[in-house]
A and B are shown apart, each in its own frame.
Chain A
Amino acid sequence: MKKIRGLFDNVGKHSTSVIKHQHTDDINIGAPKYAYKDEARRFTTNPQADREAIESIDKVFYGDQEAINPYELDNLPEALSLGDVEVRREKLRQQVNAISKKLSDVILENQPSYTKELKDVQELQRSLHNAFIICSNGRRFLMSVSTRSTTAGLKLLASQQKRHNLLALCTALETIRTLQHTDIRLREMLEEEDYDGAIQLCLECQKAASTYRHYHCIKDLSSKLQDTLEQIEEQMDVALSKTCKTFDENVYAKLKIAYQLLGKTQSAMDQLLMHYTTCIHNTAFHVVLGFAELGSSKNNLHKKQYKDLCTHISGEIYIPCLMEMCKALWSIMHCYHKTSVWHKNCISANGLDVAEEVETEEYINRKLSHGRHRIWADVQSRIRTYILSCDLSVFKYDDFITVLDIVKRFILVGVDFCRNTIDETEPQTTTDNLNEPLRKQTLSYFYNHHKSRLEELLMFLDNEAWQPCPVKSSFEVLNMQEFKFLRQLDVDDDNLFDNNQENFASNLPGIKYFDPYTNESHPFADLEKMSQKANSNDIRQVRYDSYEASDEDDMDDELHQEYIDERTGESPVSDNASKVLHGPIMTNTALHVLRLCGSYLKMCDVLKPIAIDVVVCMTQLFDLYFYAVFEFFSTSYEGEKYRYERLTSTIKRMEESLFLPISSNAENEATLPPNSEKIARPTLSPVVDLNKNENNYGIMERIVATESLICLSEQFQSLQKYLELMIPQSKKAFLHQFYSQTVRSSADVRWTSYWEFSSRCINMTSTIEKMFLVNWDIKDIMSQHNAYVDQLLKELGTFKSRLQQSVRSVQMPEAVSKVIWNHCIRISNQVFVEGFSNVKKCSNEGRALMQLDYQQFLMKFEKLANIRPIPNREYVEAYIKAYYLTENDLENWMRTHIEYTPKQLSSLVNCSATSYSSSTAASTNRNAKQRMMSLIEELTMRK
């Protein structure tokens, strides 16, 4: 109903609302349906009435539905009547009819436009439908197009992107491949020792690797590179350690840069020092091991400690091994030296301007400079152990000297190595490590050596026939082969001095034993050559030609003559005793002593610390010779006591030092050799007979022996200045003592050793007997001497010619004949005193005769012996004159003249007493005599 009402209202006004309605119902597109009631179709045909009816329609019915329904009911009158209602109903019916009519009219009126509109609507509906289809088709097409075209495009894009990525991956892989390959390259570089390049590369790779670390395949590489870097460092370390053995500037420079790259310059230095220590230890060990294996069949040697190993080095390979070790250790030191020189040059050459670098370099230099001590100490300890491990005392002298030479040279090398890098306060300690064991070994060696040399010398003495051994008249100990080194020493010292002067300006370490050497040469070359030469026989160079010329006694005419003699086939047995020797008188043994001294001096020179011991021993050689000469020829001495006493004290000292355990009297320190036994006393060769009259009681041998001793002492004197140079200042007193006492007193032996000859040749007793027969109790002054004087002089005359004859092969030294004649006068004097003391009775005139006799004797003797003034004449003269002394004076005289025997004194007293008797009372005389006799007794006792 409502619709309809609406329709009514809106006819003509809202024509589009239908479309609007239909539009909402878009799917129900069909023809509109209309329902018609039968009742409504009953139309009246009264238009007036219908108008009125329509106009009478309450306004309410045009209102809302809700208002319509109750409206009729409400308007019903209270008093309801059917009429009314009928009326009402009628009215309403009319109204409805009117309306219906009206409505149908309107409808009819609008029918064609409706139809027309409907057609339009249908038309619209159709085109809408078409549009719908077109749309949905388009939509469908669009849909398919969109589906189809977007996927491809996207795929394309995606591909493009993928390509992009792949390209990136490709470069990455390329890099990775290079990275992987760098390993090989790195290895190559390491082989080429291009450490800095390798490190740089490695570091770059590491960076690259970390950029690509998202790649799985590279994850390992990174750690591998780290390993490689470590490996490089290890290799560098190895290379660094190799520089200890062979220093190559290029390699070292590379290493240095490489370490710089790593930022480990300083720690590398510590490492290097450590390498040196290891290298020293290993080298020493391997050298010794090598030699030990040579000499031993045991094969577990390498397990031994160095020290034990050293004890496996046997005597004959000891020197080569030492040499090898010194060489090896030196070359390590040499590398070290070159390293530090390199660093020093590094500062000065490159002129580093970065303060930091300068500081590092200075640090290195300081480190290296200090390191020298450590190196030297290490080296020393190796050698020291080696030296101490072997008993060198059984070595041959030359071998031992070689050992000393080598070690001494090595000490010099060490001093040179540490030069100027030490605190000046303790320069000595630098070499103590070597000097001390060397000293120990040398001492023990030396004492051993000395012992056997003494024994050898003893054998020489036992075999010595005391024949003169001809030497050039200008014989000088320093010209002997054994002393040649002394002359060399002088030269060396000069050189040394010069060098010192030179070096003062640039007193750098290593200037002497390192700088001048390349890798091939070494400062032991000369020593090595010496020791090798000594050990091999294959030197075919024969030096016979030079040999003759360099003969130390160059051939004088006399000698040349001998050679001619030999050539003409003259017998070697030919008597050549007529030849007189003009040179100094030497014996074979004395020459041997000098030869030994030469070798001892060499020892002094080679090792100064034991110089004093050597010098002490050297003096013992002299002592032994001295002692033997004295013992053999001087025992029956009865001459002047004071000489003898001086000598005997010297001899006593010798006995104590030679035949008692050897002690170095110059030192209190315990340098005593452990089991030094006494040596035997020398015995005179049985060839020599001193008791035979025919050979003049061995006067020749006496002369040769005594004069050779004197000559020896002269030679010793010429050695004094060298000895003084050898020994420390503090020990000079010993030497002084030796020279002022022992050497000097050898001249005294002249006095003692010729005594026996004189005393045995001159027959004292026959003269004394003759004197006894002379009457001395005479009253007149005599003018003629007694015959016994002539007899004595005659005897001395024979003695003289005998002496001259017996001494043929040598020229008698002036001093000797002087001594011999001295002995003669002494003996004669004794003859006189003894003869006079036998006189029982004597007058003043008799006493005068005695003086006359003696004067006569002196006069003649002077001529015979050719000595003036005649010594010791007071001995006789005083004895004669004592006769004239008064009692008291005689007493005093006797007290002061102890040189007379009690018998001689008492004889004097007796004689004098007889003369007293004339003037004094016999009783007092007797008393006086008794008093004096007891005085003599007393004096004798005192003696």
Chain B
Amino acid sequence: MSETYDFLFKFLVIGSAGVGKSCILHQLLENKFKEESTHTIGVEFGSKIVNVGGKCVKLQIWDTAGQERFRSVTRSYYRGAAGALLVYDTTCRETFNSLTNWLTDAKTLASPNIVIILCGNKKDLESEREVTFLEASRFAQENEVMFLETSALTGENIEDAFNKCAKTILTKIEAGDIDPERIGSGIQYGDSSLRQLRHTRPRRQRTDTGGGCC
């Protein structure tokens, strides 16, 4: 079954172990909370077609393991990601503290252009909160990433997080800040958009001639 979509974005979900990455993905795909979640081994995968700004975007989402021992495996999946959800647990300061490392990892291994949204998960556990909204916002601002607080349990802001990220990428494409045709951009054209977009997009002067032309 070949689906039709305008773009395909490669997404990552990263962050320390147990912050709820797999639950977030599950909530996005199944619209329900994953009850019995165990630590992810290596990398798992899910895809979903979302409608962003009138475009059909297929998200190819890699849910990585947060445990240290899988780091070398998960890192090999960073390459060519167009967007990433960087998740921490609002009820666990340590996960917030290690964000910088994750951020550098993503920027160096994926691409400096990668669009990242910071997600403070487990928002539902308000009583156990260890990281305030304010300090997380400040962190996001300083690092120029978007920020949302989410809950994989209630589903709050889950879709929004992905949509927001996808939307930003789309805007950047349209503005010409991202070149989807660069190898490793993490973006592919779906069949339907290919031609149409070529005509409408204000194209930057491109140095490589690798992209196929009609």
Interface residues of A (CB under 8 A from B): 396, 398, 448, 451-452, 456, 459-460, 463-465, 467-471, 481, 533-537, 539-540, 542-544, 547-548, 550-553, 558-559, 562-563, 565-567, 569, 571-573, 576-577, 579, 587-588, 591-592, 685-687, 809
- 15 residue pairs A–B, Cβ–Cβ below 8 Å: A463-B76, A468-B72, A469-B41, A469-B70, A470-B73, A533-B35, A539-B33, A543-B35, A552-B38, A559-B69, A562-B68, A566-B16, A571-B101, A572-B68, A587-B42
A641 to B7, CA, bound (A): 46
Q: How far is the CA of A543 from the CA of B45 in the complex (A)?
A: 23
Tell me whether A481 and B38 are in contact (CB under 8 A).
yes
Q: How far is the CB of A473 from chain B (nearest CB, A)?
A: 13
* Residue of A471, A481, A536, A587 touching B32 (CB-CB under 8 A): A536
Q: A481-B36, A551-B38, A685-B76 are in contact. List 4 more A-B contacts (CB 8 A).
A: A535-B32, A552-B41, A576-B68, A588-B73
Complex Cα gap A489–B125 (Å): 37
Partner of A550 from the list B38, B60, B73 (CB cut-off 8 Å) is B38
The verdict on A465 contacting B18 (CB below 8 Å), with A537-B33, A573-B105 known, is: no
Residues from chain B with Cβ under 8 Å of A452 in the complex: 1
Q: Which one of A537, A562, A567, A572 lies within 8 Å of B101 (CB-CB)?
A: A572
Q: Considering the chains assembled together, what is the distance between the CA atoms of A563 and B77 in angstroms?
A: 22
Most interface-central of B16, B30, B42, B183 (chain A CB within 10 A): B42
A16 to B9, CA, bound (A): 170
Chain A interface secondary structure, helix, strand, loop or mixed? loop
Specify which of A542, A567, A591, A687 is in contact with B153 (CB 8 Å cutoff): A542
Verify if B98 is at the interface (C-beta below 8 Å from A): yes
| Nearest-Cβ distance from residue A483 to partner chain B, whole angstroms | 13
Please give the distance in Å from A931's CB to the nearest CB on chain B. Answer: 58
Contact present for B105 and A460 (CB under 8 Å): no
- B61-93 interface mask toward A, CB cutoff 8 Å, 1 = contact, 0 = none? 010000111111101110100000000000000
Nearest neighbor of B14 in chain A, beta-carbon distance: A572
Q: In this assembly, does B130 line the interface, its C-beta being within 8 Å of a C-beta of chain A?
A: no
Q: What is the CB-to-nearest-CB distance from B92 to chain A, in angstroms, rounded to a whole number?
A: 10
Complex partner residue of B70 from A470, A566, A567, A592, CB under 8 angstroms: A470
The closest CB in chain B to the CB of A595 belongs to B44
Assembly CA distance A210 to B183 (angstroms)? 104
Cβ-closest chain B residue relative to A566: B68
Q: Which of B35, B68, B72, B102 meets A563, CB within 8 Å?
A: B68
Whether the Cβ atoms of A544 and B18 lie closer than 8 Å is: yes
Known contacts A468-B73, A537-B33, A572-B68; is A459 also within 8 Å of B1 by CB?
A: no
Residue B39 at the A interface, CB < 8 A?
yes
Contact partner of A566 among B32, B36, B98, B108, CB < 8 A?
B98
Q: Counting CB contacts under 8 A, is B43 at the interface?
A: yes
Bound Cα distance A687, B72 (Å): 13
Instruction: Kindly list chain B residues whose C-beta atoms are within 8 Å of the C-beta of A685.
Output: 76
Set of chain B residues within 8 Å of A571, measured between Cβ atoms = 101
- Which interface residue of B41, B97, B183, B184 has the most chain A CB atoms within 10 A? B41
User: Which interface residue of B44, B72, B101, B124 has the most chain A CB atoms within 10 A?
Assistant: B72
Instruction: Assess whether A470 is in contact with B38, with CB atoms less than 8 Å apart.
Output: no
Shortest Cβ gap from A538 to chain B (Å)? 8
Partner of B155, one of A465, A537, A548, A551: A537
| Chain B: minimal CB distance from A449 (Å) | 10
Cross-chain contact A562 with B154 (CB below 8 angstroms):
no
**What A residues does B125 contact at CB under 8 A?**
542
Is the CB of B94 closer than 8 A to any CB of chain A?
yes
Task: Kindly state the separation between the CA atoms of A592 and B42 in the bound complex, as whole angstroms.
Answer: 9
With a cutoff of 8 Å between Cβ atoms, the chain A residues found around residue B171 in the complex are none
List, in ascending order, chain B residues with CB within 8 A of A463's CB.
62, 76-77
- Interface of chain B residues 178 through 205 with chain A (CB within 8 A): 183-184
**Measured CA separation A540–B104 after assembly (Å):** 35
Residues of chain A with a CB closer than 8 A to B51's CB = none
Measured in the bound complex, the distance between the Cα atoms of B131 and A24 in whole Å is 161
Contact of B98 among A469, A481, A535, A572 (CB under 8 A): A572
Does residue B132 face the partner (Cβ distance < 8 Å to A)?
no
| Residues of the B chain whose Cβ atoms lie less than 8 Å from the Cβ of A396 | 30
Give Cα A591–Cα B40 distance, bound, in whole angstroms: 11
Q: Tell me which of B30, B105, B124 contacts A572 (CB under 8 A).
A: B105
Known contacts: A470-B70, A481-B38. The answer to whether A456 contacts B18 by CB under 8 A is: no
B37, B42, B44, B98: the one within 8 Å of A569 (CB):
B98
Which residues of chain B have C-beta atoms less than 8 A from A559's C-beta? Answer: 67, 69
Task: Choose one: A465, A535, A537; the contact of B77 (CB below 8 Å).
Answer: A465
Task: Please indicate the chain A residues that have their CB under 8 angstroms from the CB of B153 in the complex.
Answer: 537, 540, 542
**A452-B1, A536-B32 are contacts. A687–B41 as well, Cβ < 8 Å?**
no
Complex Cα distance A459/B58, Å?
14
Measured CA separation A452–B46 after assembly (Å): 12
Q: Are B73 and A467 in contact (CB under 8 A)?
A: yes
Contact status of A467 and B76, CB under 8 A, knowing A452-B1, A571-B101, A572-B105: yes
Q: Chain B residues with Cβ under 8 A from A573's Cβ?
A: 101, 104-105, 108
User: Could you say which residues of chain B place their CB within 8 Å of the CB of A551?
Assistant: 38-39
Given contacts A565-B68, A573-B105, A576-B72, contact A456 B45 (CB under 8 A): yes
A residues in contact with B183, CB < 8 Å: 686
Contact of A543 among B32, B36, B41, B79 (CB under 8 A): B36
Residues of A within 8 A of B104 (CB): 573
- B72: which A residues are within 8 A, CB to CB? 467-468, 576-577, 809
Smallest CB separation, A556 vs chain B (Å): 10
Residues of chain B from 114 to 149 with CB closer than 8 A to chain A in the complex = 124-125
Given A471-B41, A537-B153, A547-B38, check contact A465 B68 (CB 8 Å).
Answer: no
A552, B36: Cα distance in complex, Å: 12
Cβ of B84 to closest chain A Cβ, rounded Å: 14
Report if A547-B18 is in contact (Cβ < 8 Å); known contacts: A459-B60, A533-B35, A576-B71: yes
- What 9 A-B pairs come out closest when comparing CB atoms? A465-B76, A588-B42, A562-B68, A469-B42, A572-B101, A470-B69, A469-B73, A467-B73, A571-B101
Determine the chain B residues whose CB is within 8 A of the CB of A687 once the complex forms. Answer: 76, 79
Docked Cα-Cα span, A542 to B30, in Å, equals: 18
Are A460 and B45 interface neighbours, CB within 8 A? yes
In the bound complex, what is the Cα–Cα distance between A536 and B30 (angstroms)? 11
Contact A566 B94 (CB under 8 A): yes
Closest chain B CB from A406 CB (angstroms): 18
Q: Is the CB of B42 within 8 A of A548?
A: no
Q: How far is the CB of A171 from chain B (nearest CB, A)?
A: 78
- CB pair B105–A537 under 8 Å, yes or no, is no
Contacts of B71 in A (CB 8 A): 572, 576
Residues of A within 8 A of B105 (CB): 572-573
Residue numbers in B under 8 Å from A464 (CB-CB): 76
The answer to whether B101 and A534 touch across the interface, beta carbons within 8 angstroms, is no
> Chain B contacts of A536 at CB under 8 A?
32
Residue of A nearest to B15 (CB): A572
Q: Which of A550, A572, A587 has the most CB of B within 10 A?
A: A572
CB-CB under 8 A from A537, the residues of chain B are 32-33, 153-155
Write the chain A residue with the least CB distance to B95: A566
Q: A588–B43 contact, CB under 8 A?
A: yes
- Bound Cα distance A468, B71 (Å): 10
Neighbouring A residues of B76 by C-beta, 8 Å: 463-465, 467, 685, 687
Cα distance A470–B18 when bound, in Å?
Answer: 18
| A-side contacts of B79, CB under 8 Å | 687
CB–CB B45/A398 < 8 A: no
Interface residues in B1-16 by Cβ distance below 8 A to A read 1, 16
Nearest CB on B from A210, distance (A): 72
List B contacts of A398 (CB < 8 A): 30
Report chain A residues within 8 Å CB of B39.
551-553
In the complex, A562 Cα to B75 Cα: how many Å?
A: 17
A469 neighbours in B (Cβ, 8 Å): 41-42, 70, 73
- Binary contact track B19-40/A, C-beta < 8 Å → 1, others 0: 0000000000010110111110
Chain B residue nearest to A548 in the complex (CB) = B18
Task: Give the most central of B1, B104, B105: most A CB within 10 Å.
Answer: B1
**CA A451 to CA B2, docked complex, whole Å:** 10
